[in-house]
Amino acid sequence: MPSYFTLNSNNGRINVRASLTAEIRDSYQGRIVAYDGGSPPRSATAIATINILRNLNSPVFSPSNYEETILETMQVGTSILRVTASDADRSVSTVHSNENHNVIYFLNFFLMKRL
């Protein structure tokens, strides 16, 4: 199995070494050992767990189409319709926010030809 992470031995930073999209694992664990420069040298060990948040699903609208008819005299700022979409990507603990689970809406109107 290829190594997806590297450890900088000078500053202790763990960096992504290779793309994680080809792998299906949701977490990786590794043992880290730190040595001092004493004589005799002493060491300490820690376990690093890296959890991977995957974006596997597209948002889904419910319902898939919306239609509303309004008067041309409708007051500016009046709410006329609410759309709802959800994303099945799993949400994780409150410590980590999975942005793949959040849905953000954008509006892009186009003109329809009169029949």
Q: What are the tens digits of pLDDT across the range 57-81?
A: 888 898 999 999 999 999 999 999 9
Cβ pair 31, 47 in contact under 8 A: yes
Using a cut of 0.75, tell me whether the model's pTM lies above it: no
pLDDT of residue 44: 94
Q: What are the tens digits of pLDDT across the range 33-51?
A: 999 989 999 999 999 999 8
pLDDT band with cut points at 50, 70 and 90 for residue 26: confident
- CA proximity to 12, closest of 41, 51, 48: 48
Q: What are the tens digits of pLDDT across the range 76-97?
A: 999 999 889 888 876 554 444 5
Instruction: Give the other-Cβ count within 10 Å of 30's Cβ.
Output: 13
What's the whole-number average pLDDT of the chain? Answer: 82
pLDDT band with cut points at 50, 70 and 90 for residue 1: very low
What percent of the chain is helix, strand and coil (3-state, nearest 5)?
A: 5, 25, 75
Using CA atoms, how far apart are residues 48 and 5, in angstroms rounded to an integer?
A: 11
Q: What single-letter DSSP state applies at residue 91?
A: P
Q: Does 45 or 107 have the greater pLDDT score?
A: 45
CA atoms within 13 A on the CB side of 99: 0
Identity of the residue numbered 22: A
